[in-house]
Structure 1
Amino acid sequence: MRDIHWLIENVDRYKNATIQKRFKSKKNIVAYVLLNGQPRVLKWFVPGLKQNMENEHTILKKGASALSTPSPFEKDLEQNVLVLSYIPGQNVCDVINDAQTIFEEKEKTVHQLADWFVQFHTFFRTDQSYQIRGDATLRNFIQHKGRIWGVDFEESRIGKPSEDLATLCSSILSTDPMFTDEKFRLCQVFLDSYRRAAPENIENI
């Protein structure tokens, strides 16, 4: 079984990396490290998902200068590793599901999420199609210094913006506590906020 320690111990370019934290990932190995003294994220893709790595690198390389996403520093084709900037902060899933957080703060967070999606869909839109972020769950967003940051773009693809919105609402409703009145209200706030902020040409989603 692959392990981040193997990568660091056996590949020269990562031998100066010190593991700080490992992240949950269904398919890949993802860790926050100090690499040559700099905070970085190593995302090590399984061999069969090389196209996912290329996909994520393309999105980040194009979007990082304009959107709140990690910056890609390196693409290691030999080991299938992306070296990314590290975004500190609180996972948005934890913010939304924290019983101690007042509704107004959660409402503010979903407004910010809506703005993030509008910016993403607008930035990547072409005359022929929309690029959606894919895997648009709460876990793939971080709140840091009053901003929302998106992470994990390997499933980004051509699609309809409504697919991202539906996935995000499903994530709000289905994370514990599930299907509460507050959760339904947050979904409505999110959708209304997106509609208000979206340019006229993507309102009909």
Structure 2
Amino acid sequence: MKGKDGKELDPARSEVLESLLDTLVDNQPYDLSFQQLRSKKNIVFKIQISRKQRKIPELIAKLFVTSGFRRELEVLKKSQENGLAVPQVIDAKEGVILMRFIEGNVLTDVINETFSTTAIEHLAKWYYHFHNIHSMIKGDPRLRNFIYHDKILYGIDFEVSRPGDWMEDIGGVAASLLDTRPIFHEDKQKLAWQLLDCYLDLAGLQRNEDVETHFEKTVAKTLKQTARWRENPTIWVLSKKIESDGIPKN
């Protein structure tokens, strides 16, 4: 198996996963079904274990192709310790993390279907607490990396978390908000500014012309990166429009 960048997965990772699963079921027989999920760099499976005597919730297994195992595990554990909603770690060792699968709705769908201002407030709060807890940014700021379950917003996927400017996350996820259908909708423009305002309020910062410019430039830069990755001319045109005209303040 390979990561998205073509780097081969260490075959030992599969053996480690098997060992973790055996430990979970006390080395008793079990039936296993799995589905490979999307991941930027590593190998991720959704796993269902079936046993007659014991019901086991669905799991996520992340097998690291990259060197980010320790960083992601630390982020998950420290987030849990500080009350930030992330997947529960069941077990982990030697480049494999086994987590509880989170049922729910991907934030992309929630926003695109409802234009929920409450969801945007939850997103701003989640990011603010993440930055405070870890003193770094989450990275890969896409709405699909958040899941709503029982009115709680969970952040997932921390393989590219790193030191950085908080605006990379906030402006970046605002770009994700604007580049999904309906693209650049008037209500989404309002939500983008609401996201910034909510975060600034939590951080005790003022919104001024410099902050607005920094925000819009970050959104435009992120959209350019997305346009190149998706080979999408519509998003490229949107990035240039925001570069020249900004985001309307409706």
**TM value normalised by structure 1:** 0.79
Alignment equivalent of 1:33, drawn from 47, 51, 64: 47
Correspondence 1:43-82 to 2 at 5 A: 43-46=62-65, 49=66, 51-65=67-81, 66-77=83-94, 80-82=95-97
Distance 1:12 1:72 in 2: 16
Aligned to 2:178: 173
Q: Secondary structure at the match of 2:201?
A: helix
Q: Is 1:139 aligned to residue 158 of structure 2? A: no
Q: Which 4+ runs in 1 deviate beyond 4 A?
A: none
* Post-superposition offset of 1:166: 1.2
* CA RMSD, 1 decimal: 2.8
Question: 1:17 touches 1:33 (CA, 8 Å); kept in 2?
Answer: no
Count of aligned pairs between the two proteins: 186
Question: 2:143 touches 2:176 (CA, 8 Å); kept in 1?
Answer: yes
Aligned to 2:101: 86
Q: Is 1:11 aligned to residue 18 of structure 2? A: yes
Distance 2:195 2:34 in 1: 34
Aligned letter for 1:158? P
Identity of matched residues, %: 32
* Post-superposition offset of 1:61: 1.4
- Structure holding more strand per residue: 1
Q: Per the alignment, do residues 181 and 18 of structure 1 end up closer, same or farther by CA in structure 2, a change over 3 Å counting? A: same
Greater CA drift, 144-153 or 80-89:
80-89
Aligned to 1:110: 120
* Post-superposition offset of 1:2: 5.6
* Post-superposition offset of 1:97: 1.7
Alignment equivalent of 1:183, drawn from 166, 180, 188: 188
Question: 2:60 touches 2:98 (CA, 8 Å); kept in 1?
Answer: yes
Aligned to 2:166: 161
Question: 2:20 touches 2:92 (CA, 8 Å); kept in 1?
Answer: no
Question: 2:85 touches 2:154 (CA, 8 Å); kept in 1?
Answer: yes
Distance 1:68 1:123 in 2: 12
Bigger radius of gyration among the two: 2
**TM value normalised by structure 2:** 0.66
Higher relative contact order (CA 8 A, sep 6+): 1
* Post-superposition offset of 1:19: 2.8
Aligned letter for 2:96? V
* Post-superposition offset of 1:12: 4.5
Stretches of structure 2 lacking an aligned partner (at least 5 in a row):
4-12, 23-29, 206-210, 215-250
* Post-superposition offset of 1:11: 3.4
